[in-house]
């Protein structure tokens, strides 16, 4: 008799337990949502955690727990909750994005980049969230040494009237090609990175003439910075002759003593195969600022190209002394040595420059 009744009693106990558990989950979920709606995030987090222990397949609960934890800076809780959410529903793009942002806050940069990029694959993302993710993608790519891809991420902000304050040093890091995050910039170099960011943002967001003016002003502020010279070299290789040249000429008309404008105009003309046109501007730049390496470089190239090879080498050697880490200086000097028949000097300078490139240019 007892043995026949036992299975029935076990069934009743199991049924009652399931019903009580269901009632408990429903109650906890309802209270958690109410706490979330009331912005009582600590209480919401606690209630969601209790509910999810009962029903761990509740993907919406993991999402709500993750967002509440992220908003209260509990990034470890947010990361774990959002990881559970995407495991249950891998097509929820915002969850991938918030997971990546949580990992960014926890210094897990590799996973952060991977999950942010996973989120950005979905073109239906909210515009504001996409902007936040693109900004973090840019920072993470620069930190990983992927500077060209990082700059492409920042292109989203090119037409903003007023860029976010945090964007400028981030763009500066990318422009100066240093694998840092903005909060890793040494205090004594923050002004340089901010200025580089302002310059590149101006070039991205405004017309070509304004961009040329921004680069000229950057050189005026930091004439001895090797990083600025590398950035200027890259800009001058792609700068349009007409717009940039007109802007540099306007700068010189407004201030005849503007050595940086004269040097940049000379380099621009050299890069467009006009050494004769570059020579007077390079000469003027050296007269105004003999210790400006860009001016010595421009005059050295102009002289070497127009036939005064010995004097050109002298100016290129001086440019190298002023800025020994500049790869363009080394390339020009090696070429001039070769033209002069100084084969051993050309080989030594070429080897030195190639070694410098391997040590300073990512993935070179």
Q: For residue range 7-28, what is the model confidence (pLDDT) as tens digits?
A: 544 444 444 444 445 469 999 9
Are residues 105 and 168 located together in one domain of the fold?
no
Q: In terms of pLDDT, which residue wins out, 356 or 80?
A: 80
Are residues 40 and 109 located together in one domain of the fold?
yes
The token duo for 46 is 């606690």
Q: In terms of pLDDT, which residue wins out, 263 or 157?
A: 263
Dist CA 300 CA 71 (whole Å):
58
Are residues 42 and 76 located together in one domain of the fold?
yes
Dist CA 250 CA 38 (whole Å):
60
Are residues 116 and 197 located together in one domain of the fold?
no
Q: In terms of pLDDT, which residue wins out, 96 or 240?
A: 96
- Which pLDDT score, from 0 to 100, does residue 5 have? 56
User: How does the average pLDDT of the chain come out, rounded?
Assistant: 90
**Residue span of the structural domain in which 195 resides:** 144-205
Report the CATH number at residue 60: 1.25.40.10
Task: Report the number of distinct structural domains present in the chain.
Answer: 2
- Which pLDDT score, from 0 to 100, does residue 8 have? 45
The 10s digit of each residue's pLDDT in 260-288 is 999 999 999 999 999 999 999 999 999 99
The CA-atom distances, in angstroms, between 48 and each of 42, 66, 69, 98, 155 are 10, 10, 11, 18, 39
Q: For residue 60, what are the contacts with CB-CB under 8 A and spacing of at least 6?
A: none
Last residue of a domain, one of 96, 125, 154: 125
Kindly state whether residue 88 falls inside one of the protein's structural domains: yes
Q: What is the DSSP letter of 361?
A: S
Are residues 151 and 121 located together in one domain of the fold?
no
- Which pLDDT score, from 0 to 100, does residue 23 have? 60
- Which pLDDT score, from 0 to 100, does residue 336 have? 96
Where would I find the beta strands (DSSP E) of 209-342?
Answer: none
Give the SS3 label for residue 95.
helix
Q: In terms of pLDDT, which residue wins out, 191 or 229?
A: 191
Q: Within 13 A of 224's CA, how many CA atoms are on the CB side?
A: 4
Are residues 42 and 94 located together in one domain of the fold?
yes
The 10s digit of each residue's pLDDT in 38-66 is 999 999 999 999 999 999 999 999 999 99
Percent share of the chain, pLDDT over 90: 76
**Size of the chain, expressed as the number of residues it contains:** 364
Are residues 158 and 117 located together in one domain of the fold?
no
Kindly state whether residue 328 falls inside one of the protein's structural domains: no
Are residues 38 and 119 located together in one domain of the fold?
yes
Dist CA 256 CA 258 (whole Å):
6
- Which pLDDT score, from 0 to 100, does residue 304 have? 96
Kindly state whether residue 104 falls inside one of the protein's structural domains: yes
Are residues 114 and 30 located together in one domain of the fold?
yes
Q: What is the rounded average pLDDT of the residues 200-204?
A: 88
Kindly state whether residue 43 falls inside one of the protein's structural domains: yes
Kindly state whether residue 179 falls inside one of the protein's structural domains: yes
Are residues 76 and 114 located together in one domain of the fold?
yes
Kindly state whether residue 152 falls inside one of the protein's structural domains: yes
Are residues 40 and 90 located together in one domain of the fold?
yes
Give the other-Cβ count within 10 Å of 171's Cβ: 27
Kindly state whether residue 243 falls inside one of the protein's structural domains: no
Task: Report pTM.
Answer: 0.79
Q: What is the DSSP letter of 56?
A: T
Are residues 75 and 155 located together in one domain of the fold?
no
Kindly state whether residue 40 falls inside one of the protein's structural domains: yes
Q: In terms of pLDDT, which residue wins out, 202 or 209?
A: 202
| Secondary-structure percent of the chain, ordered helix, strand, coil, rounded to 5 | 80, 0, 20
- Given a contact cutoff of 8 angstroms between Cβ atoms, the answer to whether 158 and 205 are in contact is yes
């Amino acid at each position: 008799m007892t043995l026949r009744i036992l299975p029935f009693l076990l069934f009743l106990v199991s049924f009652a337990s399931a019903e009580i558990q269901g009632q408990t989950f429903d109650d906890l979920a309802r209270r958690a949502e109410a706490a979330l709606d009331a912005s009582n995030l600590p209480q919401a987090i606690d209630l969601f955690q209790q509910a999810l222990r009962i029903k761990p397949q509740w993907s919406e609960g993991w999402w709500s727990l993750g967002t509440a934890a992220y908003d209260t800076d509990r990034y470890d809780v947010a990361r774990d909750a959002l990881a559970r959410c995407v495991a249950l529903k891998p097509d929820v793009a915002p969850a991938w994005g918030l997971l990546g942002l949580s990992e960014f806050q926890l210094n897990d940069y590799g996973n952060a980049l991977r999950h942010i990029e996973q989120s950005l694959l979905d073109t239906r993302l909210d515009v504001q969230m996409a902007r936040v993710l693109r900004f973090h993608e840019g920072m993470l790519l620069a930190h990983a040494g992927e500077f060209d891809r990082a700059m492409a991420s920042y292109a989203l902000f090119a037409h903003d009237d007023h860029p976010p304050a945090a964007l400028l040093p981030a763009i500066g890091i990318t422009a100066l090609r240093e694998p840092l995050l903005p909060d890793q910039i040494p205090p004594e170099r923050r002004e340089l990175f901010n200025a580089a960011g302002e310059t590149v943002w101006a070039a991205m967001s405004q017309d070509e003439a304004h961009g040329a003016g921004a680069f000229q002003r950057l050189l005026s502020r930091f004439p001895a910075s090797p990083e600025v010279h590398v950035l200027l070299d890259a800009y001058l290789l792609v700068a349009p002759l007409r717009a940039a040249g007109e802007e540099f000429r306007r700068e010189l008309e407004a201030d005849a003593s503007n050595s940086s404008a004269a040097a940049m105009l000379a380099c621009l003309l050299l890069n467009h195969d006009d050494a004769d046109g570059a020579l007077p501007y390079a000469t003027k730049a050296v007269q105004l600022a003999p210790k400006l390496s860009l001016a010595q470089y421009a005059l050295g190239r102009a002289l070497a190209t127009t036939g005064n090879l010995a004097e050109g080498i002298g100016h290129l050697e001086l440019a190298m002394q002023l800025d020994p880490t500049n790869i363009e200086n080394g390339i020009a000097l090696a070429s001039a040595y070769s033209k002069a028949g100084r084969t051993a000097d050309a080989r030594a300078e070429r080897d030195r420059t190639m070694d410098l490139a391997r040590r300073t240019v990512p993935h070179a």
